[in-house]
Amino acid sequence: MNSEIYREIESAGKLVNWGALKLVSLVLFLAGAAAFFYGIYSGSAERAWNAYLTNFVYWTGLAFGTLLLSPILVITNGGWGRPVKRLAESVALFLPLSFVLLWPLFIARDKVFWWVLDPEPQKAFWLNTQFFFAREGIAILVLAMVALALVYHSVKSDLEYIRGDYRNLAARSSAQSKFSTAYVILYAFILTAIAIDFMMSLSRHWYSTLFGAYYFAVSFYGGLAVIILISAFAVMKMGLSSLIGKKQFHDLGKLLFAFCVVSGDFFYVQFLVIWYGNKPEETRYVLARIKEDPWSALAWAVLFIVFVVPFLVLLLRKIKMKPFLMTLVSLWILFGIWLEKFLLVAPSLLKANVVPLGIVELLITLGWLGLFSFCVLWFLSKYPVVALSDPLLGKALEPKEEAVQTI
């Protein structure tokens, strides 16, 4: 059965002009890089670095959150998701790039982090340049290396299987289990550290014990939306509806709905405690975003886009089984999560009478999108898009599912 799947995947890959898609991604990346340097040298350095930091925390969390589905499926023996397991792993190349993209923030640390020029003795142990970038660099690199090791054994298992070499399949499966466990544990701790260091530390006084959990939950929420987009691409452009069927889209939709609720709950509980405690050093952060211009309208828009609309739409079962409609829902969610990251970062860095969203921010964001897309496209064009050697794959596809409706 898996040999038939491999032939179907090979045929599907020929339907896609990978070179053209990669070229478009590179053009977007170069346009974003040009816009960033234009902002730096044209008197808009603050806005350029604000956009850079917003995109760093957005795309880094999104990449790690997307890959998280693969180890979750391994640990839980989740058979339903085996057809999309490799799609979750397709972001692997971007993860070490997150480590590389961290270091421009080190160069511009005095323009981004207030504590570089105005350190507080009480926070000096944690908020100092050497320890800050050393711990973040090591943390991101370690999580990326664990992810790459997991994906390496997953892909290597398939390549050996295709060659007819079955000797190491058990060892590869065992390695995947070990690295999956390590990844899930490290994911929670390291994304918590990223949230605290790159967003919470921007405010001199505000803190929240739930903010780290909120960040890694929203990152997985967005990661599920990315997997749905890639799955819809595989169905609508590669003709793989016989492998990625209604069940996969329905289950992904249910997970997306679940983490919409979880993220909304974390959002509510986090700020409920701040409101109930009514401490000036904590409420100031919230009031600056929901009560003061120009941020209040954006804050309510984020609540509406990220939580309210997806909650209502994903209640409908039929929508969750149609790739085209799920693509629209996922794009809506990803747009909202980007605005949410912008709202968490920008008011701490910029003093503005209007929301500072313009062509510079748009192009810089498109540059990050281009880099992220190139990494995914390169992976999908080089390796099988379905984990052929996975023993649970056949079970997930039997009985053969009815092809999904594309509209």
Render pLDDT for 303-354 as a digit per residue (tens, 0 to 9).
Answer: 999 999 999 999 998 999 889 999 999 999 999 999 999 999 999 888 878 8
CA distance 113 to 129: 10
Mean pLDDT throughout 271-299?
78
* Domain assignment present for 334: yes
Q: Encoding tokens for residue 205?
A: 């006084």
CB contact at 8 A, 377 and 24: no
Report the percent of the chain where pLDDT is more than 90: 62
Across the chain, what does the average pLDDT equal? 90
* Tokens representing residue 65 in the block: 């959150």
Q: How many residues in the chain?
A: 407
Question: Rg of the chain over CA atoms, in angstroms?
Answer: 22
The predicted-structure confidence for 214-232, as pLDDT tens digits, reads as follows 999 999 999 999 999 999 9
Task: Give the angle 22-23-28 at the CA atoms, nearest 5°.
Answer: 95
Residue 77 lies in a domain: yes
Q: Quick one: 191 exposed, middle or buried, by C-beta within 10 A (0-12, 13-18, 19+)? A: buried
Q: What is the mean pLDDT of residues 155-179?
A: 89
pLDDT band at 401; cut points 50, 70, 90: very low
HEC assignment per residue over 156-198: HHHHHHHCCCCCCHHHHHHHHHHHHHHHHHHHHHHHHHHHHHH
Element (H, E) at 44: none
Q: Given a cut of 80, is residue 198 above it in pLDDT?
A: yes
Tokens of 199: 């967003």
pLDDT surpassing 80 at residue 385: yes
Q: How far apart are CA 1 and CA 161, in angstroms?
A: 13
Task: Record the tokens describing residue 374, joined without a space.
Answer: 């190139």
Residue 407 lies in a domain: no
**CA atoms within 13 Å, Cβ hemisphere of 284:** 9
286: pLDDT confidence band, cut at 50, 70 and 90? confident
User: Has this prediction a pTM greater than 0.85?
Assistant: yes
Asked if residue 407 has pLDDT above 70, the reply is no
pLDDT at residue 2 in the model: 64
Q: Is residue 406 part of a domain?
A: no
Can you tell me the mean pLDDT for 259-280? 81
Instruction: For residue 401, tell me if it sits in a domain.
Output: no
How many independent structural domains does the chain possess?
1
Helices (H), 199-245: 211-236
The pLDDT tens digits for 92-150 are: 999 999 999 999 999 999 999 989 988 888 888 889 999 999 999 999 999 999 999 99
Q: Structural domain of residue 124, as residue ranges? A: 2-396
Q: Kindly state whether residue 338 falls inside one of the protein's structural domains.
A: yes
**How confident is the model over 25-45, as a mean pLDDT?**
94
- 104 inside domain: yes
What is the C-alpha separation between 407 and 255, in angstroms, rounded? 21
